[in-house]
Amino acid sequence: MARRKPITAKKPAEKDGKPAGKRQSNAERSAYFARREAAKVLRSALQGDARRRAIGSIKSLVYGPSVRNKKATFALVCETLKHNQVVVMLSSTGLDLVAVDMRCNAVDCHVGIELNLNLAVIKEVMEEANVVSSKWKKQNDLLYIIAYDLLFGQQDLLTGDAEKHLMSKKNALQSALSRILKRKGLKNVADLMALDKTSELQKPRYVRVNTLKTDTESVISELRKQYVVQEDDTVPDLLILPPGADLHNHPLVKNGSVFLQGKGSSMPAVALDPKPGWEVIDACAAPGNKTVHLAALMKGKGKIIACELNKERVERLKNNVKLSGATNVKVKHEDFLNLDPTDPSHSKIRAILLDPSCSGSGTALDRLDHLLPSHNADGSGNADLTRLRKLAAFQKRVLEHALSFPAVERIVYSTCSIHQIENEDVVNSVLPLASSHAFNLETPFPQWPRRGLPTFDSSQHLLRTDLVEDKEGFFVALFVRRENLEDRRRKKQRRTQRKPLNFFVARLLKLV
């Protein structure tokens, strides 16, 4: 009888994102998965940037529920993209660095934070070293992350097939980097980064208390165990913590008792001022911070229709609504522009919040948009005017559509943009239509000092936050229907007239 050949186990393959081969240490496994999570975030960010239609900011992508090792992933993405908008345009051998530096707040993760590398340089190094074979072309994002770690991160934690591929090309990568630096007239990467030494953005951490689940006093008491906490003097239930306070893993955030929401972002819902029992539309609702803020202001009573067109953002919206405990929100995977104002189901809509897609220029630093290729791609420091015009045209359509709902009394139009074309110009363009529907511009937060640019007569009613003074640039416009204003004035007048009569009736009853 012929002897059977012994069965030899095949080498385990890297499958479903799991490392193959010998058993890994916890640190190696953590680094392995962080690189792959970072690659997914990088891919989403770059694809959204290329289409000029981001699914979310870099921060929101990293701090979403699907990413486990958030700090390491955040730092890897930041350090790979860091100074991506460095402009290499003086000459073929010169280097002119013009960028705004936003340091990653993750100093305790495994990446060397002080070693920053331009994504463009990583690409150039990999192309010069000719290390990307056809097998790996579809995983460029992962290779960029690994190349950063290989050259400037923790080489001893590089495990996995993609890591081994680049490890075998390490000498070629280092030689390519040396040649590139030499061509640019620099000795090392430290010289490269020394050309750009801008200050960090010192922005307070704002926390909005979710009054559907807790109260402000309880949250202050809990947070003061770790931080100095102040109450904001403009927006109710908004707390101010020191810059750099990292609450992403705090129990109050995880259980939905508080939301990490900036001051400018918290103003539109308060300006809309929906009452409990009202029917309200949040027209462009994802990720849902403003939606659940509306629900809290309405004390969970009434109805909120939250519209969102993007499928992935709908899921984020649903998750945030569920986390908040809001039971009066109906999420619709639908374009707000497709809602029929004459439909009987919309006959009782009394307020609409509009926060349409915008350039995001007012929150670009906070969102880390300045790290993406499209930011100042022309090197001029100017936004893409063609894109701004398209955004403004869309914003105008959305605002005009909101004005056509027959029972609506209050409309808030807000952006996180600093550009006049998206703000004052959009509002001014719809004023004739607004007037024909009996709407006036009213003044949200009358005590707020920064108002609209003086481009038309009633621009003083508009609200702006300032990038320098407030660390973010938001815009808010409030439309109120005149009939509603007159009704309120008449009611107030009637109450004033009744007051003396009620007083005398009460006195007579006491005498009897």
141 is in an annotated binding site: no
Q: How far apart are CA 352 and CA 331, in angstroms?
A: 15
470 is in an annotated binding site: no
285 is in an annotated binding site: yes
Residue 188: Cβ within 10 Å count: 11
Buried b (16+ CB within 10 A) or exposed e, 146-155: bbbbbbbbee
423 is in an annotated binding site: no
284 is in an annotated binding site: yes
The CA angle 174-175-180, to the nearest 5 degrees, is 95
Considering only CA atoms, which of 346, 339, 359, 217 is closest in space to residue 283?
339
290 is in an annotated binding site: yes
DSSP 8-state class, residue 421: G
Active-site residue (options: 78, 109, 307, 416): 416
| 8 Å CB contact between 342 and 401 | no
369 is in an annotated binding site: no
Could you tell me how many helices (H) and strands (E) the chain has, helices first?
A: 17, 12
Residue type, 346: H
Q: How far apart are CA 32 and CA 115, in angstroms?
A: 20
287 is in an annotated binding site: yes
The CA angle 488-439-236, to the nearest 5 degrees, is 60
355 is in an annotated binding site: yes
φ, ψ for residue 221 (rounded to 5)?
A: -60, -40
Active site residue 416: yes
- Cα distances (angstroms) measured from residue 193 to each of 182, 196, 198, 223, 430: 15, 6, 11, 37, 47
320 is in an annotated binding site: no
The CA angle 145-381-470, to the nearest 5 degrees, is 85
The annotation places the binding site for S-adenosyl-L-methionine at 284-290, 308, 335, 355
Which residues have a catalytic role annotated?
Answer: 416
Residues of the binding site: 284-290, 308, 335, 355
